[in-house]
């Protein structure tokens, strides 16, 4: 009696049983029974989830977090004692957002890790659809991308765009350590992952060392052949720190700065002035001594790396204190401001998922405290 399934049409109306015998079914119960019946047919009511699907504003699951380099470095060197680069393929400690533990991501849309290659080791060649940026923290060595060896030392940015074969090696005296930023969560969401191992030997060098940076690393003076470049990523694989810091200091000296980010430069694709990769944008910014930026929020999430100096980033009211070589994350749509109360400029590198927001027409930014109009 009162078997809800009967109402589903399995039995004719005249055979539903004697309703007078049953207790009154509450509205809530009959709705729930109806919802359960829908689930049996792979359907669901929209009205019970409409505002979870469409909150008024973005809601991030990721939380603001800082990884202290002291701890990361110590754990990385412990990993170096336990596992060879050959055994690991990539010896990386993944920076996992505390709210996304076990999901290999620093924010909902960005993967970040810190990689160690010990002197004399190589990380064997492979390629995958995920694009990567490498920002060098310490040591010297190289990443070879499509047969071009890109030399790496502190502050250099190296790109391994999606699909490009790459390997790494540490050929200096010291451990080589860098920040990896990859678009893994985005590619995973698109179910567009392809991976190919390319053997155990270092990739053959088919071009001069640092060839792309030498040829196209001065966007005011491009070789005309650059017009023929039709890939979605920058043709430059290396952005040396000497040039980045010189440009940043010159920008700061010129007096140009933004209220929300201090003096900031985007690493660009010299073909079109756009982001370095179709899924990720990279920035370097200088927060002058004794300054505080205006608080703002934007839909992209960001992974920051502290190149120089110390300060605090206030994210949704939470204070993230950082110093040299630390890494921290600001989730999408989190209100954030950078504070540098020290006597020295602070310099931050960051990687964000901004190009995806822009390409899809989803990019929004807004000053803190303003409810609408972004």
User: Which residues bind to ligand 1HN, rule: CB under 6 A?
Assistant: 90, 92, 113, 115, 123, 128, 130, 132, 166, 168, 180, 182, 184
CB of 113 to ligand 1HN, least distance (A): 6
Whether the Cβ atoms of residue 285 and residue 264 lie closer than 8 Å to each other: yes
**Coil/strand/helix, residue 298:** strand
CB of 127 to ligand 1HN, least distance (A): 8
Nearer to ligand 1HN, 122 or 286 (CB): 122
CB of 247 to ligand 1HN, least distance (A): 27
- For CA atoms 295, 297, 298, 301, the dihedral sign is positive
Whether the Cβ atoms of residue 339 and residue 306 lie closer than 8 Å to each other: no
Percent helix, strand and coil across the chain, each rounded to 5? 25, 30, 45
* Nearest-5° Cα angle at 63, 59 to 68: 160
CB of 256 to ligand 1HN, least distance (A): 35
CB of 12 to ligand 1HN, least distance (A): 59
Whose CA is closest to 90, among 46, 125, 48?
125
Nearer to ligand 1HN, 85 or 213 (CB): 85
Whether the Cβ atoms of residue 176 and residue 139 lie closer than 8 Å to each other: yes
State the Cα–Cα distance between residues 131 and 277, nearest whole angstrom: 7
Any idea what DSSP says for residue 39?
H
Residue carrying the six token digits 């030399």: 151
- For CA atoms 194, 197, 202, 204, the dihedral sign is negative
Nearer to ligand 1HN, 110 or 320 (CB): 110
Nearer to ligand 1HN, 197 or 246 (CB): 197
CB of 115 to ligand 1HN, least distance (A): 6
State the Cα–Cα distance between residues 311 and 324, nearest whole angstrom: 9
- Residue 33 burial (C-beta neighbours within 10 Å; 0-12, 13-18, 19+): middle
Whose CA is closest to 244, among 142, 323, 136?
136
CB of 273 to ligand 1HN, least distance (A): 27
Nearer to ligand 1HN, 115 or 269 (CB): 115
Whose CA is closest to 287, among 303, 268, 315, 306?
306
Nearer to ligand 1HN, 198 or 289 (CB): 198
Q: Cα(first)–Cα(last) distance of the chain, in Å?
A: 56
Whether the Cβ atoms of residue 65 and residue 329 lie closer than 8 Å to each other: yes
Nearer to ligand 1HN, 96 or 180 (CB): 180
**Coil/strand/helix, residue 73:** helix
State the Cα–Cα distance between residues 125 and 31, nearest whole angstrom: 57
State the Cα–Cα distance between residues 356 and 186, nearest whole angstrom: 9
CB of 182 to ligand 1HN, least distance (A): 5
CB of 119 to ligand 1HN, least distance (A): 17
Nearer to ligand 1HN, 128 or 297 (CB): 128
CB of 142 to ligand 1HN, least distance (A): 12
Nearer to ligand 1HN, 132 or 346 (CB): 132
């Amino acid at each position: 009696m009162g078997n809800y399934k009967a109402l589903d049409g399995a039995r004719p109306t005249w055979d539903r049983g004697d309703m007078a015998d049953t207790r009154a079914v509450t509205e809530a119960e009959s709705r729930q029974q109806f919802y359960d019946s829908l689930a049996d047919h792979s359907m669901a009511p929209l009205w019970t989830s409409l505002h979870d699907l469409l909150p008024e504003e973005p809601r991030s699951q990721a939380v603001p977090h800082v990884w202290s380099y002291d701890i990361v470095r110590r754990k990385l060197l412990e990993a170096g004692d336990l596992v060879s680069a050959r055994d690991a393929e990539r010896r990386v400690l993944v920076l996992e957002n505390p709210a996304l533990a076990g999901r290999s991501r620093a924010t909902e849309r960005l993967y970040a890790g810190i990689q160690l290659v010990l002197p004399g080791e190589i990380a064997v060649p492979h390629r995958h659809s995920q694009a990567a940026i490498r920002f060098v923290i310490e040591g010297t060595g190289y990443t070879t991308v499509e047969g071009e060896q890109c030399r790496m030392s502190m502050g250099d940015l190296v790109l391994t765009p999606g699909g490009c074969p790459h390997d790494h090696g540490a050929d200096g005296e010291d451990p080589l350590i860098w920040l990896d930023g990859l678009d893994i969560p985005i590619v995973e969401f698109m179910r567009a992952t392809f991976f190919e191992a390319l053997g155990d030997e270092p990739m053959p060098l088919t071009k001069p060392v640092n060839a792309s940076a030498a040829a196209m690393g001065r966007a005011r003076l491009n070789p005309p052949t650059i017009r023929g470049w039709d890939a979605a990523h920058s043709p430059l694989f290396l952005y040396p720190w000497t040039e980045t810091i010189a440009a940043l200091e010159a920008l700061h000296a010129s007096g140009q700065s933004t209220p929300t980010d201090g003096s900031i430069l985007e690493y660009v694709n010299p073909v079109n002035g756009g982001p370095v990769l179709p899924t990720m944008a990279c920035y370097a910014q200088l927060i002058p001594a004794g300054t505080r930026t205006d608080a703002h929020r934007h839909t992209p999430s960001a992974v920051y790396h502290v190149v120089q100096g110390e300060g605090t980033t206030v994210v949704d009211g939470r204070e993230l204190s950082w110093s040299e070589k630390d890494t921290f994350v600001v989730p999408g749509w989190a209100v954030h401001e950078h504070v540098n109360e020290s006597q020295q400029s602070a310099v931050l590198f960051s990687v964000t998922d901004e190009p995806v927001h822009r390409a899809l027409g989803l990019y929004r930014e807004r000053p803190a405290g303003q409810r609408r109009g972004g």
